[in-house]
Amino acid sequence: MVTTARRTIDASGSEQALVECARQGSGTAFVMLALRYGDAVYAIVRNMSSNLRDAEDAIQQTYVTAWHDFGRFPEGARFSTWLYGIAMATVLSRRQRDRRRPSFSLEALRPELDADGRLVDGGGRWDDGLGRFDITAVLREALENIDDRARAAFVLRDLLELSAEEAAVILRTSPQDIRQKVHEARVVLGGLIDPNCASKLYS
């Protein structure tokens, strides 16, 4: 329990109760709401960013924007969907402002693996330091070669496992468009990543 000047706020309380407290200006309630979805916000921003520093900046901007705009939080909306929308809009805006695409051939994204799926040379950029293949590193680098909207749809559907309907609300499009964009992303990723590794992404 956290006591504020306005009222006692229960960290395990309902989302609606926390939303109402935040509407009244409770920073504590807002932080409690944000913490509930912090991992998902990180996943969105990190997988939409070129590097960790960009991701950290975008996360900070996401929460500042959310707190500043909380007075316009839509009645009856889900806080998570609203927050994810801000996170995605933030990172997409930053990508448009700072376009960075790899100049090397896409063939460079294909790591050389042995029969057990481990890097042949070891110590490469996809090695986790223990001689094991880091599929997360490959995925993030491959994502840099996908159209931003398809990448966003893929992150929401396949990584966060949101419904096509919720992803459509976040990206302000239709569920059908989301499904099409996810399919496009999967096709591109399947072509960039070794088939043995690509199959692990969708299992």
Percent of the chain residues topping a pLDDT of 70:
69
Alpha-carbon gap, residue 129 to 54, rounded angstroms: 24
Q: Name residue 170's amino acid.
A: I
Q: Span 148-177, mean pLDDT?
A: 96
Amino acid at 49: S
Q: Which helix (H) or strand (E) holds 3?
A: strand 2-3
The whole-number pLDDT of residue 180 equals: 95
Residue whose token pair is 């700072």 = 98
Instruction: Tell me the pLDDT band of 6, cut-offs 50, 70 and 90.
Output: very low
* pLDDT at residue 115 tops 90: no
Q: What is the mean pLDDT of residues 10-19?
A: 78
Which residues touch 135 (CB under 8 Å, ≥6 apart)?
Answer: 197, 200, 201
Confidence of residue 143 (pLDDT cuts 50, 70, 90): confident
Residue 163 is predicted with a pLDDT of 97
End-to-end CA distance of the chain: 41
Tokens coding 154: 């893929």
